[in-house]
Amino acid sequence: MTHLLKIVYFFLISVVLVACGNEKIQTKSLNSLISPNYSFNQDFFYCDLNKNMSLLNLESFLSKFVSDNVNDFSNILDINILFPDKTQEVTEFVFSVRSNQNSKEVSDFVNLLEMDDFNKIASCNYAIQQLDATDLIQSESEATNDFLNVEILRCTYNPGYNFGTFRISIDRFVNAVGRLKLPYSLSYINLKKNNSFIWINSFNINNQEEFLEKNWISDDESKAIKDEFNENATCLDSKKYKSYELI
């Protein structure tokens, strides 16, 4: 190979490598611009029952509170209360508040609780964050209970990954679950910091673990989707609750 041909050869290789590198950078950049179509805002208020207080005290207070104020929160989509699942003695709970870009009404809800001396029942962290959120799957099945079985996973994207890279796996998951006709809802909440998110599984049935074991977990497609999920993100913890609607 002549000296001139060597120069041309290495020049072409360099052009190809640079082009490939630029294409990867461009693809990654485009993926980072993709985000969900957020449809509501989510707040969580974490509470601990005070000493000498029980769930009966909590139920009595909230029953009257809801009766007195149910019509005062037109722009709050719903307020649920979550109790840890499979816990013998419940000492903590969570208010889950969905709103429509209306932090004032969320603040009004908190203020009304405080005005009614809810602090005598429980101590709560009322940090209003108005996290961007959406339902990726909404159950079309009628609820069979007065509560939902909820699993909340706190996850973070792996280095180099984001919602844009994750969306194909999510679409596959949504389509697969849709074929199962599972009474199930999926919510996605952006945590804004550290490239993290919350993934919430909600089931309208009690035997969801048995249903999933029979119809989903052992399926080849489910394994592939799980592998894709693990490639994109790592879930740091998982907590299960019974969720009851307040407002």
Q: Is the pLDDT of residue 20 over 70?
A: no
Number of Cβ within a 10 Å radius of residue 220: 7
| 52 torsion bin: left (phi>0), alpha (psi -120 to 50), beta (else) | left
Instruction: Quote the domain boundaries for residue 158.
Output: 37-245
> Does residue 26 belong to any structural domain of this protein?
no
Residue 192 — very low, low, confident or very high, per pLDDT cuts 50/70/90?
A: confident
Q: Domain containing 196 — which CATH number?
A: 3.30.70.100
Please report whether residue 195 resides in a domain: yes
Mean pLDDT across 164-191: 90
Name the nearest CA neighbour of 99 among 73, 118, 69, 60: 73
Higher pLDDT, residue 217 or 179: 179
pLDDT at 57: 97
Whether residue 2 is contained in a domain is answered as no
* Number of structural domains the chain divides into: 1
Look at residue 173 and tell me if it is in a domain.
Answer: yes
Tell me, what's the pLDDT at 29?
A: 46
At 117 the pLDDT is: 97
How does 157-175 read in b/e, with b if 16+ C-beta sit within 10 Å?
Answer: beeebbbbbbeebbebbee
12 lies in some domain: no
Asked if residue 86 is part of any domain, the answer here is yes
Phi-psi region of 194 (alpha: psi -120 to 50; beta: other; left: phi over 0): left
Confidence of residue 71 (pLDDT cuts 50, 70, 90): confident
Overall pTM surpassing 0.75 (yes/no): yes
Residue (of 156, 155, 137, 154) closest to 203 by Cα position: 137
Tell which wins on pLDDT, 215 or 41: 41
Asked whether residue 84 is domain-assigned, the answer is: yes
Give 115-151 pLDDT, tens digit per residue.
Answer: 999 999 999 999 999 999 999 999 876 666 789 999 9
Cβ atoms of 98 and 40 closer than 8 Å: yes
With respect to residue 19, please indicate whether it lies within any of the assigned structural domains. no
State the pLDDT at residue 35: 81
